[in-house]
Structure 1
Amino acid sequence: MELLPEEIERECLLRVSYKSHHNLRAVCRSWEAVVKSSRFYQDRKKFGMGEERICLIQALPQQHEYKQRSAPAYGVTIYDPLKSSWERLPNIPTGFPLFSNCVCVNQKLVVLGGWNPHTWEDSKAVFVYDFCSCTWKSGTDMPTLQSFCACSVSPQGLIYVAGGHDQNKNALRRAAAYNVEKDKWEVLPDMQSERDECHGAFLQGKFYVISGYETQSQGRFERSAQVFDPETRLWSTLENMFKFGGSAHACVAAFGNLYFFEKDGVMEYDCEGNEWRKVCSLPLDIKNVTRASVWRESVFLCGSANGSGDTVFYMFRPPSNGEVGSQNWIPVQRPQNYMGFVQSSASLEI
């Protein structure tokens, strides 16, 4: 059998869907080496062959009526905006943690912390789903128990976590960074103040831990942010950064800006002036936005519908040249069995 020239063979492999990459690895050693290389996925992105997906940690449909009185079971939903297709990943063998964070690095989905779904105890566990091999594996445990912590990915691909609370519900100052490729944690200096139920975002190269509350003021959210500079390894406090009260979970860093979606509309943050400005209103059928993640030139939003517990989804396109209107919002249709509450979301390119 005549073999294809190496460059043509590689061009063919680059075009194969990620769902078949684990099969490509099994064909021969040379294909395995190609598909396992970081350059392979860099070239897929470079030549416009990458597949972009949105990952949602979403409540699964209740199978029995009696389960409505218990905590919902969660799984990973994968949404492809280009094909409007929905599917679910295989579940974590030990069960999916409650109230966990998820982030994406390279071709991996990382699920951090939360509660053990069987004991409801806080968990240090880290789970990594590799889209190239279509398998889950356990990562190195977090250095400390940190449920409801801030979490975000740096431009260098490190996962930063900070704050949250321990098993006794005490708010924490602790912070750490996780290198997914090396499966290694680095403990960072503590924040200047405790922050429980805080939200993380990278903005202008710095890690922002937004809002949250201290142990003694549980439920009374701070309006300041803790800001970590990876270069100096120092924390600073930015007063009056978050002026809305309540949780900052509907914040997202996108296109060099920070956006917050609240009942009064879409707010954009000005780092230089430490001010927010309204850029447009929310659609009428969103009661509140609970999660947001970037997809291409848009922001994918999860929220609740007015007058019901149903989850609704939208794509938001930030206004350009001051143009504001219905063109900024694209409703996302979802099948009936994909209407569960979304506890975390992230996007990736494979």
Structure 2
Amino acid sequence: MPCIGEFKLVRVLNIHLSGHHNGDQELAVDLTRISGLFHLIYLKIVCDVCIRLPNRMRGLQCLETLDVMDTPSGTYVPWDIIYLTRLLHLSLPPHTNLLDWSFGDDLSLCRPNHLQDLCISTPPSSDYDHLKRRMYALDYLMYGHDSLKTVKLMAHGSSVSYGDTSKARVRWVLDKLTHHVQRIEVSPHIPVIFCKMHLWDIQHGNLCILKIAVDGLSVNDVDILSGLPALTAMSLYVQKSPNIKIIFCMGAGFTALKYLKLRFMSGIAWLKFEADAMPNLWKLRLVFDAIPQMDQRLDLYSEGDQWTQYRHGNALINIEHMARLREVSAKFEGAAADLKYVSRIGIVSNHPSNAIINVQLVDSGSHGDKRISSTSPESTSCPLHVPVLSGAGAGGEVSWSNIIGAIGRDLFIYCLHRLSRWDYGAIASLNHDFNSVVRNGDIYRLRRKNGVAEHWLYLPCRNLHEWEAYDPSTGRWIHVPKIPPAESSYWDSLAVGTELLVFGDFGRVAWRYSILTNSWTWLADEMNTPRYCFGSASVGEKAYVAGGADSSHSHLSSAEMYDSETHSWTLLPSMNTARFGCSGAFMDGKFYVIGGITSSLEVLTCGEEYDLNWRSWRVIDNIAQGLNNTVLGAPPLIAVVKNELYGADYSENNELKQYDKLDNKWITLGKLPVESKRKGCDMGFRACGDRLIVIGPPNNSTSKELVELHSWTPDKQQPVWNLVATRQFTNKGPFLYCTVMCC
């Protein structure tokens, strides 16, 4: 092979060498002729043998990347590379002596003025004084550097391990102006600890990625870190667990953060993530290398009442609703007995609307790591009831996957389909197979087939982008992830199957929320005729829409059917009359469209009935007579319970009415418990299973940001309404949108 110096025009050189010279410099591979490759732009050397670089490399004025980090100890990089004016990316091997690049006693370093990325491999040396001088020199290399964006200190070989306190650690204070740095990574395997963060909010305004080890974590440290406006990924390795509660507050910074990892080397931290504290966080990882023994009292619970709460199962780690969170995990290492104790008390509380939390309890005893549990329910403060397999070969590892194989998938689904929807999150978190069974929708299809259903009410209380679900059987509220930002106002909604559909921009924008994935997706298959202010009703996996107006505000008579299983729209025969602002209901196996106004602003008192079998419409005169149906008011407020049609008359009479099918008229049953202040636009009226739900401002109340939810189960008696919930309502939309999902 020709000598490397003969490749005079080479621009990219990537050398990989392997061999075994036992570190003998006399047998080192000679690469000194590289200094003559004047056109070289990229040089990377990876080897496990000794190499000899040139004593001078100043002539490589085209060189932009020099990477010799993966070379053995003893590789000498000449100091004159600081004069390479085009050098942008520099990765140095262990034992690089930064002090050789200084001139004079004051360490006033010459430096490559255009360097952007600096990566240094740190040797496994425990020489405290030597390491301290290296960090001191690195400080000066970074000082006033206008172009430096990335600084990495990587561990080389068997350096200090996590939590190893047997070796002295250097405390690094970044007290130089490094406001251009965007990325700082210091491996936790090297003995360097960061401290004194109080200068960072000024110096590191452009910092995007931070991975460091810190001695502790205080409230002040969290405040400083939260003020880094560009921070998107952060990993902190905390040597000493804080002895106070650390709260990540809503609206307190971390606005750009998407990834957060906190690893505590000793003890368990007391953490709380308030709702939307990190509005853009996607991934959260918590790791605890050691936990207190089960009979040991934690210092942070010095007060007797706090310890009592802890012993009764109140979670140490509380994660409230975080809308964009897609992955969350917590890992605990310790003795098996202590881990079972942790699993029993429910140490982590995760909001049910968050992504399912993955909890790992790892036995780090004398026989190596052994997983005790791999999952956690997604509901709040639920203890982990962990069955541990016994017998030879079990190894203490949890496995539920053989359950499905033992009883069969169909029988397994049948066993689950009568459980509450609240239980499915915990079941899905047990293992991958269970998650697949719950998330692919088979359980809900079987529930639909066997007539098993729960009815949850969905409505946006804060604004049109933030929906919530209400379970009237338990009184629980569930946060739904925010609709992705869109320049649109939303006008209509409907629930069908396991989906919530929201339409905006006069029907031209549509989003679909699925309870199977707990996420929103763009509804790519839009209606054949996009519309708004239409009548709709759902039954099973199908939804029917009719009427409304198109984007040019022309009133429509057309109708369509949506299939949530295939995500497709099918045209239906058109109605006899075009109508806008109408309402829909499903009764007697037929789709009814009631009320509305014509293009000439005539109020319609008639309705139409669509026969699914005959695929035809029949006009029903005066079916809306007796209900509020005005040009400026809300569409007729109607709901069907046990195949009977009910209406909410929001006029001055404020009455609940029932439709008499035989005489085609409305019968007054009693008064409504709420009172509209905007011609019905601030009221909702829905059927939730066997009960009616009416939503609106309280009677005789002046509050504009409060709504009440009242429930009544029709029993052929005068209605007696029960107040089931009160909710702050700051939504400034044109209507009070609400819909019911039955699945």
What's 1:124 paired with? 508
Which of 631, 635, 640 does residue 248 from structure 1 map onto?
Answer: 635
TM-superposition CA deviations, 1:44-63 (whole Å, max 9, x none): 68999976421113443xxx
Which of 603, 607, 610 does residue 225 from structure 1 map onto?
Answer: 607
What's 1:63 paired with? none
State the one-letter code of the partner of 1:251. Answer: I
What's 2:486 paired with? 95
TM-score (norm 1): 0.79
Q: Which has the higher strand share?
A: 1
What's 2:662 paired with? 272
Which of 709, 716, 723 does residue 331 from structure 1 map onto?
Answer: 723
Per the alignment, in what secondary structure is the counterpart of residue 738 of structure 2? strand
Which of 518, 530, 533 does residue 148 from structure 1 map onto?
Answer: 533
C-alpha distance in 1, partners of 2:573/2:461?
A: 33
How far is 1:12 from its partner? 7.6
How far is 1:238 from its partner? 1.1
Q: Which stretch shows the higher mean deviation, 340-349 or 185-194?
A: 340-349
State the one-letter code of the partner of 2:662. Answer: E
1:304 aligns with 2:690: no
Question: What is the correspondence of 1:45-56 to structure 2 with a 5 Å cutoff?
Answer: 52-56=455-459
Quickly say closer, same or farther: Cα 1:21–1:125, change in 2 above 3 A: farther
Is 1:152–1:200's contact at 8 Å kept on the other side of the alignment? Answer: yes
C-alpha distance in 1, partners of 2:425/2:466?
A: 18
Per the alignment, in what secondary structure is the counterpart of residue 334 of structure 1? strand
C-alpha distance in 2, partners of 1:238/1:312?
A: 34
How far is 1:266 from its partner? 0.7
How far is 1:319 from its partner? 4.2
How far is 1:314 from its partner? 2.9
Quickly say closer, same or farther: Cα 1:210–1:256, change in 2 above 3 A: same
Which of 547, 557, 560 does residue 176 from structure 1 map onto?
Answer: 560
Quickly say closer, same or farther: Cα 1:96–1:36, change in 2 above 3 A: farther
How far is 1:43 from its partner? 5.9
What's 2:162 paired with? none
C-alpha distance in 1, partners of 2:531/2:546?
A: 8
Is 1:267–1:276's contact at 8 Å kept on the other side of the alignment? Answer: yes
State the one-letter code of the partner of 1:184. Answer: S
Which of 155, 171, 185 does residue 569 from structure 2 map onto?
Answer: 185
How far is 1:242 from its partner? 0.5
C-alpha distance in 2, partners of 1:12/1:171?
A: 46
Is 2:709–2:726's contact at 8 Å kept on the other side of the alignment? Answer: no
C-alpha distance in 2, partners of 1:141/1:187?
A: 12
Higher-RCO chain (CA-CA 8 Å, sequence separation at least 6): 1
What's 1:110 paired with? 501
Per the alignment, in what secondary structure is the counterpart of residue 215 of structure 1? coil
Is 1:194–1:214's contact at 8 Å kept on the other side of the alignment? Answer: yes
C-alpha distance in 1, partners of 2:614/2:713?
A: 33
What's 2:423 paired with? 17
Is 2:706–2:727's contact at 8 Å kept on the other side of the alignment? Answer: no
How far is 1:211 from its partner? 0.7
Quickly say closer, same or farther: Cα 1:41–1:176, change in 2 above 3 A: closer
How far is 1:177 from its partner? 0.7
C-alpha distance in 2, partners of 1:167/1:285?
A: 33
Root mean square deviation of aligned Cα: 3.1
What's 1:259 paired with? 646
How far is 1:92 from its partner? 1.7
Question: What is the correspondence of 1:1-16 to structure 2 with a 5 Å cutoff?
Answer: 1=394, 5-6=403-404, 7=407
The structure that has the greater radius of gyration is 2
What's 1:317 paired with? 712
C-alpha distance in 1, partners of 2:660/2:416?
A: 45
What's 1:235 paired with? 617
Is 2:457–2:471's contact at 8 Å kept on the other side of the alignment? Answer: yes
Per the alignment, in what secondary structure is the counterpart of residue 663 of structure 2? coil
Per the alignment, in what secondary structure is the counterpart of residue 683 of structure 2? strand
What's 2:38 paired with? none
Which of 424, 435, 444 does residue 41 from structure 1 map onto?
Answer: 444
Is 1:176–1:187's contact at 8 Å kept on the other side of the alignment? Answer: yes
Quickly say closer, same or farther: Cα 1:260–1:96, change in 2 above 3 A: farther
Which of 472, 484, 488 does residue 81 from structure 1 map onto?
Answer: 472
How far is 1:150 from its partner? 0.9
TM-superposition CA deviations, 1:211-234 (whole Å, max 9, x none): 1111122xx421011221111111
Is 1:302–1:311's contact at 8 Å kept on the other side of the alignment? Answer: no
Structure 2 residues not aligned, in runs of 5+: 1-393
Quickly say closer, same or farther: Cα 1:148–1:21, change in 2 above 3 A: farther
Q: Which stretch shows the higher mean deviation, 305-314 or 135-144?
A: 305-314
Structure 1 residues not aligned, in runs of 5+: 61-72, 116-121
C-alpha distance in 2, partners of 1:234/1:51?
A: 31
Per the alignment, in what secondary structure is the counterpart of residue 223 of structure 1? coil
C-alpha distance in 2, partners of 1:179/1:48?
A: 19
Q: Which stretch shows the higher mean deviation, 8-17 or 131-140?
A: 8-17
Is 1:109–1:128's contact at 8 Å kept on the other side of the alignment? Answer: yes
What's 2:10 paired with? none
How far is 1:317 from its partner? 1.7
